[in-house]
Structure 1
Amino acid sequence: MEGLLVALFVLFLIWLLIAPIVALVVARNAKARAENAEHALEKTKSRVEWLESELRQLKEGNPSQAARTPTKIPAKRETPEITPGPVKSTPLGAILERASNEARKADELRKSMAPPPLPEPVVRKKLVDWDGASSPPAAPPPLPEEPQEPFSLEKFMGVKLFAWLGGVAMFFGVIFFVKYAFENNLISPATRITLGFVTGTGLLAGGLVIHRLPKYKVLAQAFCATGVLILYGVSFAAHAVYHFPAFGSIQTFVLMAGITFAAFFIAVRLNALVVAVLGMLGGFMTPVLLSTGQDQVLGLFGYIALLDIGLLAVSRHGRWRFLTPCAATGTAVMQIGWFFKFFGPGNYDEGSLTLIPMGILLGFIVLFLAGGWIKRRRLSVYAAGSVVGLAAVAVAFAFVMLSYESVARRYFLLHGFLLLVHLGIIATVIARPRLGMAQVVAALLGFLHLALWTVWYLSVGNLHGTLALYLVFGALHAVAPVILSRRMATEGMGAPVKSSPWFPPLALAIMVLPVLQLDPVPITVWGGILMANLLVIALAAASRAVLPVLLSLFVTMILAGIWLLHGPASTAPLMPFLGVVSGFTLLFSAAGKWLFRDGLPEGGSDQLAAKLLPAASAVLPFGLLLCAIDSLPIPDPSPVFAVSLLMTVLLAALAIFGKQGKLLLIGLSGTAAVEGFWFVHHFDRGHPQVSLIWFIGFYLLFLVLPFVFRKRCVDLPESWIASALSGVAHFLLIHPLIKQAFPNDVMGMVPAAFAVPSIFGLWALLKFFPEMDKRQRSRAAWFGGVALLFITLIFPIQFERQWITVSWAIEGALLIWLYRRVPHQGLLFTGLGLLVTTFVRLALNPAVFTSYERSGTPILNWHIYAFGIVAAAQFIGARWFRDPENRLEAFKPVAGLYTMGGVLLFLLLNIEIADFFTAPGSRYVAFEFGGNFARDMTYSIAWGLFSLALLGIGFRSGSKHARFTAIALLVLTLVKVFLHDLAAIQNIFRIGALVGVAIIAFIASFLYQRFFDKSGQGPPPLT
């Protein structure tokens, strides 16, 4: 009984709210009808008056005036008081007959006064009258625009805002009253639900009735929206809170589907956006406001799904498409709220319960995909954005699951869920390519998720599945955009297609984690790496993107290096490592040749990468071989050298058949580096035979390659350079090997032996290519220069003390001579460089006097042959120097060579004097002035004689610089004698010194006087 009273009280409250509004509406309607009736009566009275006036005019016989001057009908006039009087009655039939005749006469008069018909329009041939005889017709005036009602804040707040707020307040009032009644058990559950349905239905009915009045559409829409909210909430409560048998899952689903349909129908039919918006807000807030604290996950999200379906349907109407992202936002908020409240306490991380949240997240993604795509040619942009937002929530859920070990251990379930989310994003991007960055971000987050999972949960047991996941994710984001962009009109797929070739290298990069974490690393890891590389190559063939292939090559080689360094320091991993390096080298070399069989791609970066790929595939393994040599004990170099030989053969093939001669130089550098590194770290002088055979074999390989393929190498100068320099590179290995393993007293025979192949190569060049063109000059210059190098190395190797400097000086002079026979600029510059270097080593190197001991033999010692031969080489080089093109005229190399030779001779003169007067037993030459009359006078007399000789050379050659230098040296000698030597000697010796100096000065004066007498005008010009 108490519940019935409370229910009646609730109905009374609702009636108190609705009744005044209904009464106001009814009163307003009655007032409007009264005003309309009064206005109609006024129009009728005016019409009657006009008819009476017409009748009077017809009676007076003035039809034309009556026809031409119609009486204006006033819109509204005051009705005068009518005074009753006598009325003259006229038969009605006569009046009608007379009116018909007058009307017929007026019609005939109107036809007679009609204007003549318009003439036929003349068709003009000219589109524009250039003479300006006629102007184009003026454009018709624009149609008057319908006046728009200006925005009024007062009207908006008074009409719409208050109505909306009233609807919301009504909804909250009912909700909180019901909640209060629930908490205090004032109303039985059945009565509560009944009152809810009655209230909601009444509001809907009232809104539909009021909506018929144009001035109250906003209020009607508010009533309808509130009614929809209440019906949603009551239906949810009846099913999820009270569990009424009549409100089972199926029945409630049907009921809420009906409410959804009703809301959709009302919103669209009445063009009521507020119904949709308030329905959406109330629909999402109903589960929160009526929450019982119990987990009803299926009922909750089933209700949310129905709500979303209604909103998706309503959003298709007019300009209401923003309701779709609003619905997605509400759904995401409900998902996040449910997770924080029920996921942990409900043990959803264990067993099959994990499928429920995953299924809910995926289900809503599919729902918005289908809702935005049904009966449309393409997915709406609002639905696409909603799918991306819901997918972001799902991706965040996948990251959170990494902290739940029970879920993360089921890696196929977790990553399968993530993969389905990515499929939803890809489907969205297919429909809306402008959202392509969403796929790129999703792919990057997916690989980050895989990397985090690998760091925390990887083991040997799940390695195979992990590698498969790497490949699946890489293939999905790499292959799907390319295939779909070709088969469907997707505007090129934008960012996904451009970024797709980079995802397999990213999957490849993640594979470094298993290599770092597992010990030992299973060989199956390399199967996954191979599949990833094949995927990269396949995508490169489809997209012509070469940079990812080059990146994959680098990543693969880095993985191999990490695998090598991460493994044990023994010979056990050497052979698998060499097999991996060789296999991937062959793979990428063949891929580079196959990808560009039809030509190189266009574009700067890809074209450069296409050129670098074959070379890089053969060059990078050399670095790995160096790592292996450094980290593993390798007493037998045969396995390492065999792989190096494979790399060399590949580079040689690419160089000769691919017209890339520089690759042979790269191959020679890499091979020599591997050989030298092994020699330094692992050479055993007790077993030199194997390494010696490999060194000689590599030397001969590079030497004979261009001769064997001379027709293909005729335009490849780098191949001939590599052939010539091969002897130099391997001499640096074979000479120390023989010196350590086979010591002897004739080590000069080693460079002599190396000179023979170079000389033979020079002879073969002159035989095969008799024409001395530019290419032939270059080839002959390299082989001749190397042959001269080995010949000159005989002396420093066989002898001691500055023989390396002597050999360089001799080679420099010989190269200048060879330049006269083979005019190649490299010979000239190299020869000059060697001569300058030898001058610096002897004249400007203090170590000559502090590090090299004197021999103890005066005059005929190592100083005289070292300085003498180098000075002679300078003079001979100046004599042989030719510069037909005058490229070095500004540097005056001939004068420079003569100058360096003269300086060396002057230094030799002083060194020999100092060495002669150095105290016996001294290790180094001592330069001292003063305290020894004989030594000081020897210096002075030698300087004077040297200046006279230099002066004579200047007169003979006509060199003004030589004469000036001689004068300067003679003056210096005189100053030394007068200021230094005379102060330290006795009178008799002083007289002799002065006489000697005077004789030298007289001779110099005589020579100058004789030279001037012969020339008549002075010294000749400089030649």
Structure 2
Amino acid sequence: MFELIALIAVVLAIAALSSVKGLRMRSEAELGLLRKEIEALKTGLANGQVIAPAAPAVSPDEVEVAQDVPVAESLPDQAEPQLQTIDAPEVAAAAAVTPEAEDLLTEPVLSQSPPVPEQKRESFESMLAARWSVWVGGIALAFAGIFAVKYSIEQGLVSPAVRLSLAALFGLVLMAAGEWVRRRTEPLVNNAFQNAMIPGILTAAGTITLMGATYVAHAFYGYFGPATAFVLLGIISFGTIGLSLIHGQALAGLGLLASMVSPALVSSEAPNPWALFGFLSVSWIATSLASKVRKWRVVPALANAGLSLWVIAYVSGFGLYEVPPATLPLLIMIAGLAFIWPGRWSEPLDSNAEQSPQDRDTVARLMFPRHIASTLTASFGVLAASILMMEFGFANTGHAEYGFLALVLALALFGASRTYAIYPAIFAALAALGGFRAMSEQAISTSYGTLDPALMVNIVEPTVARNLALGLGLVFALLAQWVGFRFRDRDRGFVSAWTAIGTVTPLLLGGVSFFLFGNYSFDLLFGAYGLVLALIYLAGAQVFHGGIENAGRYDFCRDLLLAASWASLVFLLVVTTDGVTTTLGVAFLGFAYLMAIRLRDWPSLPWGMVLSALFVAGRIAWEPTIVGPDHLGKTPVFNALLVGYGIPTVLLILSAWFVRSRNDDRLRNVLEALASLFALLTLGILVRHAMNGGVLDSATPTLAEQAIYTLLTIGASATLMALDLRRPSIVFRTGSMIVGVISMISVLAAHFGALNPYFTGELTGRIPFFNLLFLAYLLPGIAYGGAALFARSRRPYPYVLALALTGALLLFGYVSLSVRRVFHGEGIAEWKGFLQSELYAYSVVWLLLGIVLLVLGTRFRAKSIRIASAVLVLIAVVKVFLIDMSNLEGLYRVLSFIGLGIALIGIGRFYQKVLTGLEKEPETTTAGNEVAGTGSN
């Protein structure tokens, strides 16, 4: 049976050789046709026509093709010189070209700017007969060798040594056959069926057979020990990688796979990690060198993945692992990527670049570089291995933090030195953050005693974790500046990406480290770290991005560095100060950045004040008392709130005033809005502090406190409106209406709902006039009426009408509740019911109030106030007919209807005599202005 299998393998090999011979004969026939067609072209173009010069001969090693296969060798010496295709009608008519010759003529011509040929779709016949048959034949040969060995073992036909020798010989024969076929195969056959790779298939089959024979000799028969087997498998693997330079990338992949699997095939009672990773490193270097020669991109990525997986498996699955042998191969991989392949590769110098980097999209070129597979696999492998080294679940012989540090630094340096290595830069930052997270978990678990004692092997101390975090943060910050210095004129996208990495990573490392290990009251070390970072960022912004060409306009890198410097100084204030000092320090810091615009014409500087305002707002939301409830005094107005809220408000007002003449409308609008909001917030918090006896967190505000808030908001709305009239601004214009709408909603919800003394039973006070109703209803009603008068012809008519109706509603509430107070005293709760005289008084007062509003609307020519008067009179009419008719009796009912009739007749007469002229002249103009809305603003 073994002889039968061997015979089948030989027959398959002969069939493959016959197929190659047939292809060679076909190519020779096609070359003959090509010579004839060239002669025909030369004859047709002989009469005064210019023939394009032949392209200079280029050796296969000087040209890279898409399939990583050498370009076809030059034609035999007896062939005529090649001619470039000439796109002219005369040439087309000169001679008829056969399909076979046309296929050869349309092959790409080697020149300085070769045209890209249109790839034809491969026919099913070609795929089945010339391609898949070769692959299946090669696989059959490989299985033939394996099955032959297996069968010989089962049947015991010959001795094990003879069987293995025959198998090894068969593998060598297949490899020799592959080399013979390669030498005899014409280049055009290789070009036509590159993926078939008959020589490579035969060589691969021989390699697999040799690998199987070596492994069986060691594992099953013990003819030689692990060391000899390891060496033999390594020789076969490296030999396969060397042959891949001739046979292509697929054979290189097979050799790489063999080298990565070889250590797993050889078992040892005392495994040596140095020997293991030394062999893997040498295999990786050999693969990288072969890839550099042939410009492969797939095999290097597989090599990176294989080497990384071995390190990860060693760290996570070998118990007590050694740090140096696990670190060294990854460092070699990073160095190989930086100096071997891709090495100093640069896209503008790449012969296969279809277009220059300036013509390609910056983001696409940055995030999808030509060597993305290699950089991604290597980066992810280093990321996973470095973080695993810091996990306390995997014990080591000591100093894993040094291995972690070496890997992160090497990956970061690689990412900073090569423009195609953006992913190593990103993954280096992620590795720094992830490794610090793992180290901090160890430190915290050790401090709190929650770590299993069995896992407490070489735990990283908190101080070591903190120092590593701060050191890595400074390294990333400095690398970002180095990248800006080196590449700012060559690759702005790469510089921008590194600027983001070099600003975000140090701040995150410093912030998280302080949160975990810092002294919250005062920490000089973290304060110095923030100061050094700020100086680095400011220096980088000035030296590398502060040229005169960037003055007066926004620049991403410089602006990001300025923002990072501001954040670093805020970090300095947070770790060295507390309470109101931090709040004021951040406010003054933002104001200093705004004033620095006088020294440097960088439009992003004033935005530091905006950032400071947002930080102060967040700090207020976190701790409204600024200094803490225990340290906040109860003195109204003159307390820590006035300082903590008032000074940032004043600085914002000054900032808005300083930028009033700048062309940046967005900045001016934002500062004006923040100044307005902070002013309103300051007044509101001072009122609440005063009204609640120095306590800010009482459950529910009183009606008196809410009344002050209402007066403040409507006053703020009127103030913003006045500022808009003085200098038109979209912030003041929209802000005034937003504040006004909010105040009207609060009136409906609080004054007439939740805090209404009629529902709550709150006492209105003993003083007849100056009481709670005066503060909560009369004063706000007058304020809303004045705001409506001020806003007419300046704001949209619906908004003006809403203000007028709100004012009328407040006055209505004042007179109604005052009437009730007259009959029931300072307590006007609903449970007291109604008196008949009280019901009649409501009708009289409402009609009188409607008449007063009508007179005011006529006097000030305000249609909105007259509409409020009409609504109030309508309410009085409905009340008389629905309530008085059913509840009043005797004289009160008669007087109610008499008064209503007289009032309605008087109002009608008033309209007839007085308002006729208003409808003709100014009233129409006024109404039109009210409808117009914002006017000229």
Instruction: Please give the residue correspondences for 1:4-83 in structure 2 after superposition, counting only pairs within 5 Å.
Output: none
**CA 1:655–1:522 in 2, change beyond 3 Å: closer, same or farther?**
same
- In structure 2, C-alpha distance between the alignment counterparts of 1:854 and 1:298, rounded to whole Å: 92
Secondary structure of 2:473's counterpart equals helix
Match of 1:432 in 2: 420
Match of 2:812 in 1: 839
- Verify: 1:457 aligned to 2:438, yes or no: no
- In structure 2, C-alpha distance between the alignment counterparts of 1:821 and 1:338, rounded to whole Å: 80
Match of 2:412 in 1: 423
**CA 1:837–1:363 in 2, change beyond 3 Å: closer, same or farther?**
same
Match of 2:203 in 1: 221
Give 1:497 deviation, angstroms. 6.1
Structure 1 alignment gaps of length 5 or more: 1-12, 37-114, 123-133, 564-572, 685-702, 723-792, 915-926, 931-935, 963-1023
| 1:235-293 Cα shifts (integer Å, max 9, x gaps) | 9999995769xx9x9xx8xx999988865664445x46675454334333333323334
Match of 2:274 in 1: 298
**CA 1:316–1:628 in 2, change beyond 3 Å: closer, same or farther?**
closer
- In structure 1, C-alpha distance between the alignment counterparts of 2:91 and 2:580, rounded to whole Å: 90
Asked whether the 8 Å contact 1:256–1:306 carries over to 2, the reply is no
Match of 1:939 in 2: 892
Counterpart of 1:322 (choices 294, 298, 301) is 298
**CA 1:590–1:664 in 2, change beyond 3 Å: closer, same or farther?**
same
Counterpart of 1:151 (choices 126, 130, 142) is 126
- In structure 1, C-alpha distance between the alignment counterparts of 2:262 and 2:869, rounded to whole Å: 102
- In structure 1, C-alpha distance between the alignment counterparts of 2:777 and 2:343, rounded to whole Å: 92
- Verify: 1:288 aligned to 2:276, yes or no: no
Match of 2:376 in 1: 388
**CA 1:224–1:813 in 2, change beyond 3 Å: closer, same or farther?**
closer
**CA 1:586–1:422 in 2, change beyond 3 Å: closer, same or farther?**
farther
TM-score (norm 1): 0.52
- In structure 2, C-alpha distance between the alignment counterparts of 1:217 and 1:902, rounded to whole Å: 103
Give 1:650 deviation, angstroms. 1.4
- Verify: 1:447 aligned to 2:433, yes or no: yes
**CA 1:716–1:283 in 2, change beyond 3 Å: closer, same or farther?**
closer
Asked whether the 8 Å contact 2:311–2:385 carries over to 1, the reply is no
Paired letter, 2:892: Y
Match of 2:657 in 1: 656
- Verify: 1:309 aligned to 2:285, yes or no: yes
- In structure 2, C-alpha distance between the alignment counterparts of 1:242 and 1:820, rounded to whole Å: 95
Counterpart of 2:340 (choices 371, 380, 385) is 371
Paired letter, 1:634: L
Asked whether the 8 Å contact 1:509–1:555 carries over to 2, the reply is no
| 1:464-520 Cα shifts (integer Å, max 9, x gaps) | 4155056247637865665554254476468666776554554466357427x9777
**CA 1:507–1:120 in 2, change beyond 3 Å: closer, same or farther?**
closer
Secondary structure of 1:514's counterpart equals helix
Match of 2:117 in 1: none
Match of 1:671 in 2: 682
Counterpart of 1:544 (choices 546, 556, 562) is 556
Structure 2 alignment gaps of length 5 or more: 26-42, 51-87, 105-121, 187-197, 351-368, 448-461, 546-554, 661-670, 696-714, 736-763, 829-834, 916-937
Supply the RMSD in Å over aligned alpha carbons.
6.9
Asked whether the 8 Å contact 1:315–1:321 carries over to 2, the reply is yes
Secondary structure of 1:471's counterpart equals helix
- In structure 2, C-alpha distance between the alignment counterparts of 1:809 and 1:286, rounded to whole Å: 88
Match of 1:586 in 2: 588
**CA 1:408–1:338 in 2, change beyond 3 Å: closer, same or farther?**
closer
Asked whether the 8 Å contact 1:581–1:621 carries over to 2, the reply is yes
Asked whether the 8 Å contact 1:664–1:719 carries over to 2, the reply is no
Paired letter, 2:630: L
Match of 1:166 in 2: 141
- In structure 1, C-alpha distance between the alignment counterparts of 2:791 and 2:103, rounded to whole Å: 100
Match of 2:325 in 1: 356
**CA 1:665–1:160 in 2, change beyond 3 Å: closer, same or farther?**
closer
Match of 2:79 in 1: none
Paired letter, 1:300: L
| 1:799-841 Cα shifts (integer Å, max 9, x gaps) | 4585457844994799499979999999998676434421244
Instruction: Please give the residue correspondences for 1:483-632 in structure 2 after superposition, counting only pairs within 5 Å.
Output: 485-489=487-491, 492=494, 502-503=504-505, 506-507=508-509, 510-511=512-513, 513-514=515-516, 522=523, 524-528=525-529, 543-544=555-556, 576-594=578-596, 612-613=610-611, 615-617=613-615, 619-623=617-621, 626-632=624-630
- In structure 2, C-alpha distance between the alignment counterparts of 1:395 and 1:871, rounded to whole Å: 81
Asked whether the 8 Å contact 2:433–2:509 carries over to 1, the reply is yes
Paired letter, 1:358: T
Asked whether the 8 Å contact 1:399–1:449 carries over to 2, the reply is yes
Paired letter, 1:166: L
**CA 1:556–1:631 in 2, change beyond 3 Å: closer, same or farther?**
farther
**CA 1:281–1:512 in 2, change beyond 3 Å: closer, same or farther?**
closer
TM-score (norm 2): 0.55
**CA 1:593–1:268 in 2, change beyond 3 Å: closer, same or farther?**
same
**CA 1:576–1:480 in 2, change beyond 3 Å: closer, same or farther?**
same
Paired letter, 2:866: V
Give 1:647 deviation, angstroms. 1.6
Give 1:904 deviation, angstroms. 7.4
| 1:68-108 Cα shifts (integer Å, max 9, x gaps) | xxxxxxxxxxxxxxxxxxxxxxxxxxxxxxxxxxxxxxxxx
| 1:903-940 Cα shifts (integer Å, max 9, x gaps) | 879999x99xx9xxxxxxxxxxxx9756xxxxx2x325
**CA 1:260–1:370 in 2, change beyond 3 Å: closer, same or farther?**
farther
Give 1:394 deviation, angstroms. 2.6
Asked whether the 8 Å contact 1:485–1:491 carries over to 2, the reply is no
**CA 1:620–1:598 in 2, change beyond 3 Å: closer, same or farther?**
farther
Asked whether the 8 Å contact 1:308–1:327 carries over to 2, the reply is yes
| 1:608-667 Cα shifts (integer Å, max 9, x gaps) | 977843543554454456144554333376555434443233123212222354444333
Give 1:902 deviation, angstroms. 10
Counterpart of 1:894 (choices 845, 854, 866) is 866
**CA 1:883–1:396 in 2, change beyond 3 Å: closer, same or farther?**
farther
Q: Which has the higher contact order (CA 8 A, sep 6+)?
A: 2
Secondary structure of 2:340's counterpart equals helix
| 1:720-743 Cα shifts (integer Å, max 9, x gaps) | 999xxxxxxxxxxxxxxxxxxxxx
Structure with max Cα Rg: 1
- In structure 2, C-alpha distance between the alignment counterparts of 1:880 and 1:871, rounded to whole Å: 14
Give 1:118 deviation, angstroms. 8.7
Secondary structure of 1:632's counterpart equals helix
| 1:212-257 Cα shifts (integer Å, max 9, x gaps) | 555995686358646985999899999995769xx9x9xx8xx999
- In structure 2, C-alpha distance between the alignment counterparts of 1:816 and 1:336, rounded to whole Å: 73
- In structure 1, C-alpha distance between the alignment counterparts of 2:265 and 2:793, rounded to whole Å: 100
Give 1:295 deviation, angstroms. 0.9
* Count of residue pairs the alignment pairs up: 697
Give 1:172 deviation, angstroms. 8.9
Match of 1:878 in 2: 854
Asked whether the 8 Å contact 1:622–1:671 carries over to 2, the reply is no
**CA 1:473–1:407 in 2, change beyond 3 Å: closer, same or farther?**
farther
Instruction: Please give the residue correspondences for 1:71-220 in structure 2 after superposition, counting only pairs within 5 Å.
Output: 138-140=92-94, 141-142=96-97, 144-145=101-102, 150-151=125-126, 153=128, 161-167=136-142, 170=145, 217=199
Paired letter, 1:396: A
**CA 1:838–1:644 in 2, change beyond 3 Å: closer, same or farther?**
closer
**CA 1:905–1:848 in 2, change beyond 3 Å: closer, same or farther?**
farther
